[in-house]
């Protein structure tokens, strides 16, 4: 397949020669053949022209959930990857949030095979423990060999401190990445929202900042003792940022992410008891949000994730106490981030993080495989249900005003546009 992108403005801060320049990009059989001005069409070529077309290397998300196997009514792998591609993502890390969870090498092979023909590449996480029950380690080495990029009991904190220590020590032998979800369940108790003034006014049980921060302190002490590589997903408090900054200064091999919605909303959005805003970690305060954004800008927080988690309507259209946690976020990632940050910073955050998972970095240069995202950063619109591609419609961004529209991707010698 031959493709010619016409008059595309390139956003690539790593490439001083092309950054912010308008160029034609000629792609032959999945490889960038030429970049220049007024390139001529060669033979049978698909020409792509869009209003205010911009292009960057393909975007990456470090924490996506679908449903298959077991919860196909929420989202299948095929439609989930199509949604990711239409949202601009050429690589996603898939959370082990299925039934059964992927806790063997054959499960990892199944996930990779199910995604093999997609434009967006799926990189599976494996469960850290058997059945994600927190009792015994799963087949970590075998799953890494099969293609797992890390080990995670999805949103389930590991109660057994010694098991976390052993996991870090064992995975260190083959450079495995161990996730630890930051929440002390005993402190959190039956809390469902941020503990504070809003939870008191609404009569909802709160989750204090301490529940997250105490778990992070424990994890960092264990990491310092055991060695290895740790990732702490979706932090949400000001003090969590400080704790991780101190750990990095010590030289600990720790990374962390923040969920996009924890940058965009606070617990004040809960006043109408809208279950779309029931999330884990919960929405915190404006002070926390500012600290998280600052942590991203100074490099303490390594990357933003949509924390995309489809839930069918029966799990959300119930009383707030009984609703499931989670929101979809792929379709709104660019439009929301592009309002918080300038365009160049937005693209940096959307493209960074692969190296932590040992995923090859794409490059927008002649001779390299074409892994590109196409978008218009100036289009403005209000996000509503007709813009949702996901099977599930549980978006906390419904009604939000977005800045920036994604045209699609060119990846794995395919066009999704």
Instruction: Give the CATH number, domain containing residue 281.
Output: 3.20.20.140
Do 39 and 118 reside in the same domain of the chain?
no
| Residues forming beta bridges with residue 123, ordered by sequence position | 93
Please indicate, yes or no, if residue 174 is contained in any of the structural domains.
yes
pLDDT digits (tens, 9 = 90+) for 166-201: 999 999 999 999 999 999 999 999 999 999 999 999
pLDDT digits (tens, 9 = 90+) for 78-105: 999 999 999 999 999 999 999 999 999 9
Do 369 and 259 reside in the same domain of the chain?
no
Please indicate, yes or no, if residue 389 is contained in any of the structural domains.
no
pLDDT digits (tens, 9 = 90+) for 51-60: 999 999 999 9
Backbone φ and ψ of 379, nearest 5°: -60, 135
Host domain of residue 27: 2-55+365-379+402-416
Do 34 and 69 reside in the same domain of the chain?
no
Please indicate, yes or no, if residue 384 is contained in any of the structural domains.
no
Backbone φ and ψ of 247, nearest 5°: -65, -40
Do 36 and 71 reside in the same domain of the chain?
no
Please indicate, yes or no, if residue 395 is contained in any of the structural domains.
no
Structure tokens at 412: 């794995």
Do 409 and 352 reside in the same domain of the chain?
no
Do 316 and 206 reside in the same domain of the chain?
yes
pLDDT digits (tens, 9 = 90+) for 227-286: 999 999 999 999 999 999 999 999 999 999 999 999 999 999 999 999 999 999 999 999
Burial 191-215 (b: 16+ CB within 10 A, else e): bbbbbbebbeebebebbbbebbbbb
Do 118 and 24 reside in the same domain of the chain?
no
pLDDT digits (tens, 9 = 90+) for 313-340: 999 999 999 999 999 999 999 999 999 9
pLDDT digits (tens, 9 = 90+) for 103-157: 999 999 999 999 999 999 999 999 999 999 999 999 999 999 999 999 999 999 9
Point out the catalytic residue in the list 61, 267, 288, 307: 307
Please indicate, yes or no, if residue 133 is contained in any of the structural domains.
yes
Please indicate, yes or no, if residue 385 is contained in any of the structural domains.
no
Do 7 and 78 reside in the same domain of the chain?
no
Distance CA 371, CA 91 (A): 9
Residue 274 is predicted with a pLDDT of: 96
Do 218 and 257 reside in the same domain of the chain?
yes
> For the chain, how many structural domains are there in total?
2
Give the CATH number, domain containing residue 374: 2.30.40.10
Give which of 354, 256, 273, 355 is closest to 320, Cα–Cα.
273
Structure tokens at 225: 């003792």
Do 47 and 73 reside in the same domain of the chain?
no
Give which of 290, 291, 278, 328 is closest to 86, Cα–Cα.
328
Please indicate, yes or no, if residue 143 is contained in any of the structural domains.
yes
Do 141 and 247 reside in the same domain of the chain?
yes
Please indicate, yes or no, if residue 281 is contained in any of the structural domains.
yes
Q: Can you give the pTM of this predicted structure?
A: 0.96
Query: Is residue 17 annotated as a catalytic residue, yes or no?
Result: no
Do 51 and 162 reside in the same domain of the chain?
no
């Amino acid at each position: 397949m031959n493709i010619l992108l016409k008059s595309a403005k390139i956003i690539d801060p790593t490439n001083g020669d092309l950054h912010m320049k308008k160029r034609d990009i000629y792609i032959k059989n999945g490889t960038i053949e030429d970049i220049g001005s007024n390139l001529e069409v060669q033979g049978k070529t698909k020409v792509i022209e869009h209003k205010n077309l911009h292009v960057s290397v393909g975007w990456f998300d470090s924490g996506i959930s679908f449903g298959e196997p077991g919860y196909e009514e929420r989202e299948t792998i095929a439609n989930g990857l199509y949604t990711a591609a239409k949202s601009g993502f050429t690589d996603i890390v898939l959370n082990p949030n299925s039934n059964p969870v992927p806790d063997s090498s054959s499960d990892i092979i199944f996930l990779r095979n199910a995604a093999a023909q997609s434009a967006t590449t799926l990189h599976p996480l494996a469960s850290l423990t058997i059945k994600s029950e927190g009792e015994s380690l799963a087949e970590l080495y075998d799953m890494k060999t099969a293609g797992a990029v890390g080990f995670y009991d999805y949103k389930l904190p590991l109660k057994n401190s010694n098991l976390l220590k052993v996991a870090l020590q064992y995975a260190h032998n083959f450079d495995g990445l161990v996730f630890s979800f930051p929440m002390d369940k005993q402190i959190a108790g039956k809390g469902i929202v941020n503990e504070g003034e809003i939870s008191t006014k609404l009569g909802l049980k709160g989750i204090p900042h301490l529940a997250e921060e105490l778990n992070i302190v424990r994890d960092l002490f264990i990491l310092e003792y055991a060695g290895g590589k740790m990732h702490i997903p979706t932090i949400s408090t000001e003090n969590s940022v400080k704790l991780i900054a101190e750990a990095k200064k010590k030289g600990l091999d720790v990374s962390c992410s923040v969920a996009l919605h924890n940058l965009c909303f606070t617990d004040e959005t809960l006043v109408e008891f809208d279950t779309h805003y029931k999330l884990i970690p919960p929405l915190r305060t404006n002070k926390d949000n500012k600290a998280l954004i600052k942590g991203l800008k100074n490099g303490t927080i390594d990357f933003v994730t949509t924390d995309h988690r489809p839930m069918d309507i029966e799990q959300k259209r119930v009383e707030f106490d009984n609703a499931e946690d989670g929101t979809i976020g792929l379709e709104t990632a660019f439009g929301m981030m592009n309002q918080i940050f300038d365009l160049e910073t937005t693209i940096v955050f959307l493209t960074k993080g692969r190296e932590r998972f040992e995923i090859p970095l794409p490059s927008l240069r002649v001779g390299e495989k074409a892994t590109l995202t196409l978008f218009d950063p100036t289009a403005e619109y209000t996000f509503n249900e007709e813009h949702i591609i996901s099977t599930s419609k549980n978006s906390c961004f419904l009604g939000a005003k977005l800045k920036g529209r994604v045209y699609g991707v060119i990846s794995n010698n395919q066009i999704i546009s």
